[in-house]
Structure 1
Amino acid sequence: MPPAANAGPAPALQSYLNIDAIIDAVKKTGARAVHPGYGFLSENAGFVDRLNEEGIIFVGPPASAIRALGDKVESKRIAKQAGLNIIPGFIGEIQDEPHALQVAAEIGYPVMIKASAGGGGKGMRIAWNESELKQEVIMAKAEAMSAFGNDTLLIEKFVEQARHIEFQVVGDHFGHMVYLPERDCSVQRRNQKVIEESPSPFISAEVRAAMGAQAVRLASAVGYNSTGTVEFVVDKHSNFYFLEMNTRLQVEHPVTEAVSGLDLVHLMLAIASNQRLDVTQERAAAINGAAVEARVYAEDPSRNFAPSPGLLKVYREPEGPGIRVDSGVVEGSEISIYYDPMVAKVVTSGATRNQALARMESALDRFVVRGVTTNMPHVRSCIANPDFKAGHYDTSFIPKYYGGPDGLNPLAFPLTEHQQQDMFAAAVFTHVNRARRYDPKYLAGEDDVARLTLSWRDVHGNKLVPLDVVVRLAGLQMVGREGVAAGALEIQLPSRVAYVYSMRQPPGVVGKQAYNTYLRHMMVDGKPITVQVAKFIPRGVIMQYLGAQRELYIESPAAAALSQHMPAKSKASSHRVVRSPMTGTLVEVLVQHGSEVRLGDDLVVIEAMKMRNAIKADREGFVDEVFAKQGDVVSADQPLLKFW
């Protein structure tokens, strides 16, 4: 392992955004070059200047290109001069709130507010009216300053029903510049990418060539030499507009590597070493198969994607052909409140889009994380969505399919009736197998029958739906020798008979990661499925299949009948208490004892994982007591204040 050096305290402004601290770390380790990664100082021209002064190589573009293109305001001016299509908006910095209101009124709502120096969704907000604009400008400025040390903003028209499509460009020091296959990054939450794929299932070859040519034209205009990404927004008629350029390597670069066969980090290092880029435009643009990336975040979608820091008690990555997992954690690692909540990137590739998606489904089904809440169930559900599979999606995909009060709760994620019965059959099989291990005589003979009741609770948790189930051993003629040897069962559900047996691992999966105690690999009616035990609960279990979860109870009919009459466990009344939805730092407390509050007013602001989150009032009233103060680190569900 290469030597490591402590860059400073956890807050980014004191460490990873502290140029002196980074330079000191470089000198301590004896490094001759710095690869800046994805964020922090990766697009900071002042950092590049300092490295040049110290005689240290920066693995990236020159400071002049970063200044020109890394600033979103200046990049729009350059793009317009270079003949690129530009989104309507004000090409300049927003001076203050009155200026923001004036610009938005001229452009027309909705508008997008952006941090000029930023990326990754930080300092980015949508305002649909004047009232929202006033609030979002304040939040965006604070978020941008925290993440990038620069609170300059710009405002542009928000394009609805848009696709977010970007092009990787690579250029050397000798004027040779090429574009690579595009990435479609339209599935987003909070303006941050969640799923990316290449090539886009939406654009035509003609549009691809035109967009790629504009990307090269922009980068060439500033003498760019390294990898970079030119981002476009594309409307439903395939009209495309320049969005911004990221003068660094992107998080999602493995997708491009998979379809192009080019190692982008290797190219960055070669170019930084003053080598020529020995790749023709024809070779660079060639598309070989398809690839998909899913970002795994430590966050809780059911709490509006609130960060979920904590300890990774269980961490098991999937393995298999065409599966790549990039991560910087292991079992036992801590997900900190100070940095981005990304845990890992799952990248799958195949000869076709369908094969890449099938491998992604298998990988997410077998990826087990416990100790923190992640977005994996949600991402898995997105991948299974018929419109996503058909390539019919845009940046409104998540709000469209997962909107509403319970839309982001895994217990509400959709399953077809047949898929839900597959899950029920798998749960019954698991229950019966456990009983047979404890009692060898249980369901041991061909004529033995087990009668059970499977009950499942709806998303609101206020009622149980009971189903009568009959179980017996499956015959040779139905499941074959393999099934009989694996203890196959015939499970009679109210509307279907399922034949189920266990597999040690899914077909085509090998290695030590193929099986663990949190997974159940089964053959249901000749189809292999994988379910996860998401959580054990009193008298039952929460099972997960295709990302969707269901709260299940499997009991004897007599026990189930009694359960129907048992009162639900009452919860202490807390309707007057406002609790923190996440772990983070309380950066603003906007109310005090006696404050009058209206519905929707901001109460406090919590910063977690480089994002600022305003906690709003869900009622009108007066504040009785405030339990925390500015600067406190609060945990999820910690009481913050209460109303009279």
Structure 2
Amino acid sequence: MFSKILIANRGEIACRVIRTARRLGIRTVAVHSDADAAALHVAMADEAYAIGPAPAAESYLRGDLVLEAAKRAGAEAIHPGYGFLSENASFADACAEADIVFIGPPPDAIRAMGGKSEAKALMERAGVPLVPGYHGDDSSASLLAKEAERIGFPVLIKASAGGGGKGMRVVEDSGAFQSALDGARREAKAAFGDERVLIEKYLARPRHVEVQIFADRSGEAVYLFERDCSIQRRHQKVIEEAPAPDLPADLRAAMGEAAVAAAKAIGYEGAGTVEFLLDEDRRFYFMEMNTRLQVEHPVTEFITGLDLVEWQLIVAAGGNLPLRQEELSIDGHAIEARIYAEDADRGFLPSTGTLRRLDFPQAGPHVRIDAGVRAGDTISVNYDPMIAKLIVWDRDRAAAVRRLEAALTEVRVAGVASNVDFLRRIATHPAFRGADLDTRFIDRHGDGLKPSRSGADDAVLATAALFVLLDRKSAAEKASRRSADPWSPWNRADGWRLNDEGRADITLRDEDGRHVVPVRYRRDGGYRLSLPRGEMPVEGALESDGALTAVLDGVRKRVVVDRSGDMLTLFMEGGACVLHLVDAVQAADREGGEGRLAAPMPGKIVAVLVAEGQAVRKGEALVVLEAMKMEHTVAAPADGTVARLPFGVGDQVEEGADLVGFEASEGGEA
């Protein structure tokens, strides 16, 4: 076994590898960009080396800098994690030349599966069933358009060199093909440095089922069962589970054996995942092979009781697989939910900012948290917006789903938008509970996955107003104790009046506008609030951990509240609610006026599709913004005219920057 390894990655996977290495008595070396100098994986490792600026292309993707750090540290091996250099055959070659073990498959195996087109051709020769499509070398637009017509719409355009949903477009008809192809190529080029694409028939309601395989240097290979990864948004996985629900034993064995055969055909070593599409008739088709550990590997670990990183280290050090196929078995059911910094209600736009609060449920035999960040860390535009993975286990799927629902209620994220409430809505949806799964689950159940609350209701407004009142009272009491006359009535913030009942207004703002909550101070220390649905008596107390014990109209509740300046994040029973406290002297909201189309997040302009003075129709694409390795199209909100284009292709823009000056035509709604 190794005595020291370097982890060429960041975030939760780097932390995950460090934990296993520490348990095995192996010293660890971290590498980091300038932006990650204070990151969690750096703090956990025994040593750490800076390798470049924040952009991944100048740091984590620089194999030469990673190898230089490994040599300086005296590391015997490099664990690439997933993403970055994990499927880079040239980097694996460079490791071998430097006499450093690459903890992954041989370079030739990576090459064999590195391009989707080449991999599909190899699988076709091996007799593995494929989805109808075109995987040839000629990727000219004219030929691809003809192949799409031959295959029949809808079709799926996929980046040949990558995964994770990047460089992928669904095309419903020939009229939309060229623009989809252009977008897929741009995204593939930006994410993988390779604009080649392939085309496949878009199956109606497929499930995404993948098989975890392991192989050693002696040629032995096993499958560690399968995972269902059908719950996806933008072709990226959101919730994964193992084993796949409602999969007959003979089908499980057939898929596992096909995956092992694929691995043996390319002389595979280490951990890998063979991904299949499973149609409604339970026919499976090869999609691709990921020649690395997967993000969702913890669900496999939960149902097998194994540590897959430990297996990786054993195999990379020349050891044999610890178990044979007949010694492997499934115990219970596990589900993983990926917690992202993104706004699920705004098209899953990634969110950036500082994690002011980050609470997770207590880890134990039923719950596991894999996180690469802490409260106080920053989610930036430079890397994937994943915050953590929440993994639960129980004796069967129904119990595991209940575990997931309960665990998600204990996750609190403040400072950035998160998908936690969206995950809860999936977990409680009848179709998910009934295991009615397919890759378009989120699209099909879109209406049922929207938040039940529309704007701030009376309970939210009352809770927020009560928190503000108690917070002001607490601040006033502290100030009074520090003053020369702590007993002066002028230091009080309880609405005291000599011969009258105190009154005040609390003004709060959310996306729906302003909400003015008139307050009357009761002589017993409580308050009476005037709310949209009537008056409500309230009282409560602040706790030391930022929680609020609130009694609303006689009903006692405990609510966690995070305050940062004028922004309040309330973690209510129905999910997180964000409100802004409006100062009484503010003349108006600091919000943009009409005629603006602002950047939803920081990013780079990759396409300007219109010209100044051009007339456009509602929904027409105007500008394409790239952020967090994904493209976001800014469209015309109404029929109108492009009045101004302040930015060009290649320009970096900040969140809120005016991307397009727009004038709606008469009768239009800008």
Q: TM-score range by the shorter chain?
A: 0.7 to 0.9
Partner in structure 2 of residue 137 of structure 1:
181
Is 2:299 the counterpart of 1:255? yes
1:308–1:372 Cα contact (<8 Å) kept: yes
Deviations 1:458-501 (A, max 9, x none): x984899x9xxxxxxxxxxxxxxxxxxxxxxxxxxx9xxxxx99
Partner in structure 2 of residue 342 of structure 1:
386
Kindly tell me: are residues 641 and 266 of structure 1, through their superposed partners in 2, closer, same or farther at Cα, counting changes over 3 Å?
Answer: same
1:117–1:150 Cα contact (<8 Å) kept: yes
The whole-number CA distance in structure 2 between the counterparts of 1:629 and 1:333 is: 32
1:384–1:546 Cα contact (<8 Å) kept: no
Partner in structure 2 of residue 297 of structure 1:
340
1:146 alignment partner, one of 190, 201, 209: 190
Kindly tell me: are residues 422 and 9 of structure 1, through their superposed partners in 2, closer, same or farther at Cα, counting changes over 3 Å?
Answer: closer
The whole-number CA distance in structure 2 between the counterparts of 1:398 and 1:463 is: 32
> How does the TM-score come out when normalised to structure 2?
0.76
Tell me which amino acid in the other structure corresponds to 1:134.
Q
2:159–2:197 Cα contact (<8 Å) kept: yes
Partner in structure 2 of residue 280 of structure 1:
324
The whole-number CA distance in structure 2 between the counterparts of 1:594 and 1:335 is: 38
Is 2:600 the counterpart of 1:581? yes
Partner in structure 1 of residue 57 of structure 2:
13
Is 2:399 the counterpart of 1:355? yes
Partner in structure 1 of residue 452 of structure 2:
414
Kindly state the Cα deviation for residue 358 of structure 1 after the two structures are TM-superposed.
Answer: 2.7
Kindly tell me: are residues 572 and 20 of structure 1, through their superposed partners in 2, closer, same or farther at Cα, counting changes over 3 Å?
Answer: closer
SS in 2 for 1:202: coil
1:183–1:256 Cα contact (<8 Å) kept: yes
Kindly state the Cα deviation for residue 234 of structure 1 after the two structures are TM-superposed.
Answer: 1.1
The whole-number CA distance in structure 2 between the counterparts of 1:570 and 1:35 is: 48
Is 2:95 the counterpart of 1:75? no
Kindly tell me: are residues 196 and 5 of structure 1, through their superposed partners in 2, closer, same or farther at Cα, counting changes over 3 Å?
Answer: same
Partner in structure 2 of residue 32 of structure 1:
76
Partner in structure 1 of residue 239 of structure 2:
195
Kindly tell me: are residues 15 and 436 of structure 1, through their superposed partners in 2, closer, same or farther at Cα, counting changes over 3 Å?
Answer: closer
Tell me which amino acid in the other structure corresponds to 1:162.
P
Kindly state the Cα deviation for residue 548 of structure 1 after the two structures are TM-superposed.
Answer: 4.3
2:645–2:659 Cα contact (<8 Å) kept: yes
1:365–1:532 Cα contact (<8 Å) kept: no
1:415–1:548 Cα contact (<8 Å) kept: no
Partner in structure 2 of residue 232 of structure 1:
276
Counterparts of 1:262-277 in structure 2, within 5 Å, are 262-277=306-321
Is 2:638 the counterpart of 1:599? no
The whole-number CA distance in structure 2 between the counterparts of 1:572 and 1:19 is: 44
Identity value in percent = 41
Partner in structure 1 of residue 39 of structure 2:
none
Kindly state the Cα deviation for residue 76 of structure 1 after the two structures are TM-superposed.
Answer: 0.9
SS in 2 for 1:591: coil
2:363–2:369 Cα contact (<8 Å) kept: no
Tell me which amino acid in the other structure corresponds to 2:284.
F
Kindly tell me: are residues 97 and 315 of structure 1, through their superposed partners in 2, closer, same or farther at Cα, counting changes over 3 Å?
Answer: same
Kindly state the Cα deviation for residue 85 of structure 1 after the two structures are TM-superposed.
Answer: 1.7
The whole-number CA distance in structure 1 between the counterparts of 2:374 and 2:418 is: 15
The whole-number CA distance in structure 1 between the counterparts of 2:568 and 2:542 is: 20
Is 2:422 the counterpart of 1:378? yes
SS in 2 for 1:399: helix
Partner in structure 1 of residue 361 of structure 2:
318
Tell me which amino acid in the other structure corresponds to 1:43.
E
Kindly tell me: are residues 422 and 229 of structure 1, through their superposed partners in 2, closer, same or farther at Cα, counting changes over 3 Å?
Answer: farther
Tell me which amino acid in the other structure corresponds to 2:357.
V
Kindly tell me: are residues 219 and 423 of structure 1, through their superposed partners in 2, closer, same or farther at Cα, counting changes over 3 Å?
Answer: farther
Is 2:439 the counterpart of 1:395? yes
The whole-number CA distance in structure 2 between the counterparts of 1:169 and 1:521 is: 50
Tell me which amino acid in the other structure corresponds to 1:48.
A
Partner in structure 1 of residue 41 of structure 2:
none
2:638 alignment partner, one of 619, 626, 644: 619
1:122–1:144 Cα contact (<8 Å) kept: yes
Tell me which amino acid in the other structure corresponds to 2:634.
I
Deviations 1:115-172 (A, max 9, x none): 1110111111111112322112111112112211222111111112111111100010
SS in 2 for 1:46: helix
The whole-number CA distance in structure 1 between the counterparts of 2:277 and 2:292 is: 19
Kindly tell me: are residues 642 and 424 of structure 1, through their superposed partners in 2, closer, same or farther at Cα, counting changes over 3 Å?
Answer: closer
Partner in structure 1 of residue 263 of structure 2:
219
Deviations 1:193-222 (A, max 9, x none): 011111122322222111111111111111
The whole-number CA distance in structure 2 between the counterparts of 1:537 and 1:56 is: 50
Tell me which amino acid in the other structure corresponds to 1:574.
E
Deviations 1:411-439 (A, max 9, x none): x51389xxx99999999999999999999
Tell me which amino acid in the other structure corresponds to 1:606.
L
The whole-number CA distance in structure 1 between the counterparts of 2:50 and 2:438 is: 42
Kindly tell me: are residues 9 and 428 of structure 1, through their superposed partners in 2, closer, same or farther at Cα, counting changes over 3 Å?
Answer: closer
Kindly tell me: are residues 422 and 591 of structure 1, through their superposed partners in 2, closer, same or farther at Cα, counting changes over 3 Å?
Answer: closer
Residue range with higher mean Cα deviation, 341-350 or 627-636: 627-636
Deviations 1:514-563 (A, max 9, x none): x943x679999xx999865478999x98755565467899xxxxxxxxxx
2:405–2:427 Cα contact (<8 Å) kept: yes
Partner in structure 1 of residue 498 of structure 2:
none
CA-based RMSD of the aligned residues comes to 4.5
Kindly state the Cα deviation for residue 231 of structure 1 after the two structures are TM-superposed.
Answer: 0.6
The whole-number CA distance in structure 1 between the counterparts of 2:425 and 2:657 is: 30
1:167 alignment partner, one of 199, 211, 226: 211
Is 2:663 the counterpart of 1:637? no
SS in 2 for 1:215: helix
SS in 2 for 1:231: strand
SS in 1 for 2:323: coil
Kindly tell me: are residues 551 and 336 of structure 1, through their superposed partners in 2, closer, same or farther at Cα, counting changes over 3 Å?
Answer: closer
1:94–1:155 Cα contact (<8 Å) kept: no
Kindly state the Cα deviation for residue 635 of structure 1 after the two structures are TM-superposed.
Answer: 2.6
Partner in structure 2 of residue 446 of structure 1:
none
The whole-number CA distance in structure 2 between the counterparts of 1:637 and 1:394 is: 36
Tell me which amino acid in the other structure corresponds to 1:117.
A
Tell me which amino acid in the other structure corresponds to 1:292.
I
2:357–2:562 Cα contact (<8 Å) kept: no
The whole-number CA distance in structure 1 between the counterparts of 2:590 and 2:74 is: 62
Deviations 1:331-372 (A, max 9, x none): 221112121111111111122223322332232222222111
> How does the TM-score come out when normalised to structure 1?
0.79
Partner in structure 2 of residue 178 of structure 1:
222
2:102–2:316 Cα contact (<8 Å) kept: yes
Deviations 1:162-191 (A, max 9, x none): 111111000101111111121111111000
1:50 alignment partner, one of 82, 87, 94: 94
The whole-number CA distance in structure 2 between the counterparts of 1:106 and 1:547 is: 48
Tell me which amino acid in the other structure corresponds to 2:650.
G
The whole-number CA distance in structure 1 between the counterparts of 2:551 and 2:206 is: 40
1:586–1:604 Cα contact (<8 Å) kept: yes
2:609 alignment partner, one of 590, 604, 609: 590
Counterparts of 1:538-553 in structure 2, within 5 Å, are 543-545=570-572, 548=575
Kindly tell me: are residues 532 and 386 of structure 1, through their superposed partners in 2, closer, same or farther at Cα, counting changes over 3 Å?
Answer: farther
Q: What are the ranges of 5 or more consecutive residues in structure 2 without an aligned counterpart?
A: 1-44, 478-493, 495-507, 518-532, 534-538, 581-587, 664-670
The whole-number CA distance in structure 1 between the counterparts of 2:565 and 2:69 is: 48
